[in-house]
Amino acid sequence: MTFTSAWRSPSNIALIKYWGKHGLQLPRNPSLSFTLSACHTVMRLAVTPDADAPGLQVSYEGVPKPSFEPKINTFFSLVKDRFPWLSNASVTIDSQNTFPHGAGIASSASAMSALSLCLMDVHDQIHGGIGLQNSEWRQLASEVARLGSGSACRSVYPIASVWGKTPNAPESSDLFGIAWEHHIAPVFRDYRDTILIVSNAEKSVSSTAGHRLMEGLPYAETRYAEARQNLIRLSEVMAAGTDLNAFISIVESEALQLHALMMSGNTPFILMEPGTISLIKEIWRFRKETGIPVCFTLDAGPNVHLLYPSPYIPVIMNWVKSDLASHCADGKYILDQVGNGPKKIL
């Protein structure tokens, strides 16, 4: 018998960055993210337990992708206690993303969260019934997703999520993300994220390698303490929703710290491109001149996430088209926004 499931799951953009991990995908500091909408993965999973020919077959948009299989097999080995049927199953996975693979947009977050939700779903079917998919179910899905990619554990929730133990959220944990949508003011619930694509190139450094570089960095402990503080401050600012300047200052500082950390190791790397710097300077100039509360954040890559409240869409879009797009690869940008989280489609 073959069980199938399909989920659409979004990417997320961290405002407080997860950078540095230990043990089995445990974060060195808590992180806080917006869940996105337009940038997502659609994944279809088919599982035949006790198959005559067990094994994994992965395709992307219908084209076989054996190169994706080692990462997924490693993930399966980490979750086989929870899904024992995986050991002897024939598994096929087909996925597609709405955004370019490897371009610094967290494809691992959307892909691994989608896969985890599919696995949870198939598990329910194998055990005779569709699960309730309540908050406990989501939490388990988040825990599974964390083992695939740390940031993926935040993608299973609508609007916003916090992952990692923090004193301002007693229910928080290093093991899974928690829902954060009810802790933020309305202004943030439909925040916009226009992703300015500075480069389409594959990432030159994997996140895993980046996290590893934190080990032994002289500033590591200071950074973790700063991130913990920033998360508490940002939570207060986002709960109140009245001080967008405070929001901007924490979010931009987090983005620049992430890249400063990458530049300060023994084997440093620079993921920003000249276009990244030009865009940051242009954002600062525009904000100073207009007073519009637009800011940026960065992932582990060169692209710039332009964050702003929805009432400013018309004026920001004029500016993006007339000015910012010229700094983008082929003038490309993605219109995204805070979104409603994953959706089961089969």
Nearer to ligand DP6, 165 or 287 (CB): 165
Among 11, 29, 35, 149, binds ligand DP6 (CB under 6 A): 149
Nearer to ligand DP6, 31 or 166 (CB): 31
208 counts as binding ligand DP6 under rule CB under 6 A = yes
**Cβ 178 vs Cβ 315: under 8 Å:** no
Nearer to ligand DP6, 300 or 316 (CB): 300
Nearer to ligand DP6, 28 or 47 (CB): 28
Among 3, 7, 18, 157, binds ligand DP6 (CB under 6 A): 18
Among 41, 108, 199, 235, binds ligand DP6 (CB under 6 A): 108
Q: Which stretch binds ligand DP6 (CB under 6 A): 146-154, 166-174, 213-221, 303-311?
A: 146-154
Nearer to ligand DP6, 12 or 139 (CB): 12
Q: Whole-angstrom Cα distance, residue 101 to residue 104?
A: 8
103: left (phi over 0), alpha (psi -120 to 50) or beta: alpha
Minimal distance, residue 113 CB to ligand DP6, in Å: 11
Report which secondary-structure segment, H or E, holds 208.
helix 207-214
Nearer to ligand DP6, 59 or 257 (CB): 257
159: left (phi over 0), alpha (psi -120 to 50) or beta: left
228: amino acid identity, one letter: R
Binding map of ligand DP6 across residues 248-287, x = CB under 6 A, - = no contact: ----------x-----------------------------
Nearer to ligand DP6, 97 or 108 (CB): 108
31 counts as binding ligand DP6 under rule CB under 6 A = yes
Rounded (5°) CA angle 271-327-37: 75
Q: Where are the alpha helices (DSSP H) in 241-267?
A: 244-263
Binding map of ligand DP6 across residues 282-311, x = CB under 6 A, - = no contact: -----------------xx-----------
Name which of 55, 14, 329, 10 is nearest 199 in CA terms. Answer: 329
Nearer to ligand DP6, 5 or 107 (CB): 107
Minimal distance, residue 38 CB to ligand DP6, in Å: 17
Per-residue CA distances from 332 to 54, 158, 328, 337 (Å): 42, 26, 6, 17
Q: Whole-angstrom Cα distance, residue 222 to residue 30?
A: 14
Nearer to ligand DP6, 147 or 279 (CB): 147
Q: Which stretch binds ligand DP6 (CB under 6 A): 71-79, 91-99, 147-155, 259-267?
A: 147-155
Q: Which stretch binds ligand DP6 (CB under 6 A): 12-20, 69-77, 87-95, 318-326?
A: 12-20
**Cβ 176 vs Cβ 150: under 8 Å:** no
Q: 114: helix, coil or strand?
A: helix
14 counts as binding ligand DP6 under rule CB under 6 A = yes
DSSP single-letter state for residue 151: G
Burial of residue 75 (number of CB atoms within 10 Å: 0-12, 13-18, 19+): buried
Applying CB under 6 A, the site for ligand DP6 has a residue count of 17
Nearer to ligand DP6, 123 or 203 (CB): 203
| 3-state SS, one letter per residue, for 29-92 | CCEEEEEEEEEEEEEEEEEECCCCCCEEEEEECCEECHHHHHHHHHHHHHHCCCCHHHHHCEEE
17 counts as binding ligand DP6 under rule CB under 6 A = yes
207 counts as binding ligand DP6 under rule CB under 6 A = yes
Please report, as ranges, the residues that interact with ligand DP6 according to CB under 6 A: 14, 17-19, 25, 31, 106, 108, 149-151, 207-208, 211, 258, 299-300
